[in-house]
Every structure is written in structure tokens, then in C-alpha cells.
Amino acid sequence: MKKVELKVTLQQQVLDTQGEALNRAVHELGHDEISNIRVGKILYFDIDETEADNIDRIVKSLSERLFTNTVIETYEYTILDEVSE
């Protein structure tokens, strides 16, 4: 059993309205050194599988079918530590 961290973000060319609003808010707080805020989401889940190839196949398949919309989003995942049972 492994824990997976899946990061989903909007593709670079897609307008991130949340990021834009945050940029403005951060500048109003006086932090002009911050720019290009992009907002994404993270999914964590456990997977009852230990083979990296199998994990890759399952995570990619689900990412493309459900977890992300590949027209506007991109994703990357990391296999975290073994889940203690």
C-alpha cells in the first residue's frame, strides 16, 4: 500500500482567475516581490499496489479519465511513503 500525491494545475496558457485575484491581493498587502501566482489542487490517496509500473498505469488512467481535464489542466504525481497498516 502506497500513498500518492497528485498535483493538478491549469496549463500555462489557461487564464487562472483565482491566481490573478490573489496576485492583486498580495500586491495590495505591499508584497510587490510576488508575481505569477497559480492556484492548483492536490489529491492524496492510498493505492493497494507496490509495483511502480502498475501505480503509473492506474494513476495516469484515472488522471486522464476523471481527476483532470487534459484540455485545460496538467498533472504530476509523487509516490510517497509506504502506508503503515
Partner 1 sequence: MKKFAVIQFPGSNCDRDLLNAALKAGAEAEFVDYRAASLAGYDGVLIPGGFSFGDYLRSGAMAAVAPVTKAIKEAAEAGKPVLGICNGFQILTEIGLLPGALIFNDQHTFISRDESLKIANSETLFTRGYGQGEDVVYPVAHGEGHYYCDDATYEKLKAHNQIVLTYNENPNGSRNDIAGIINERGNVLGMMPHPERALETLLGSDDGLKLFEEMTKWEANHVQIH
Please compute, for residue 73, the number of CA atoms within 13 A of its CA located in the half-sphere on the CB side.
Answer: 17
Contact positions with partner 1 (CB under 8 A) in 33-72: 65-67, 69, 71-72
- What pairing do the DSSP bridges indicate for beta strands 73-82 and 40-47? unpaired
d(CA 67, CA 45): 12
Site residue total, partner 1 (CB under 8 A): 13
Q: Which is nearest to 40 in space by CA: 72, 64, 80?
A: 72
Q: How far is the CB of 66 from partner 1 (least distance, A)?
A: 6
Q: Looking at 1, 14, 25, 34, which residue binds partner 1 (CB under 8 A)?
A: 14
Q: How far is the CB of 20 from partner 1 (least distance, A)?
A: 8
Query: Can you give the binding site for partner 1, defined by CB under 8 A?
Result: 10, 14-15, 17-18, 20-21, 65-67, 69, 71-72
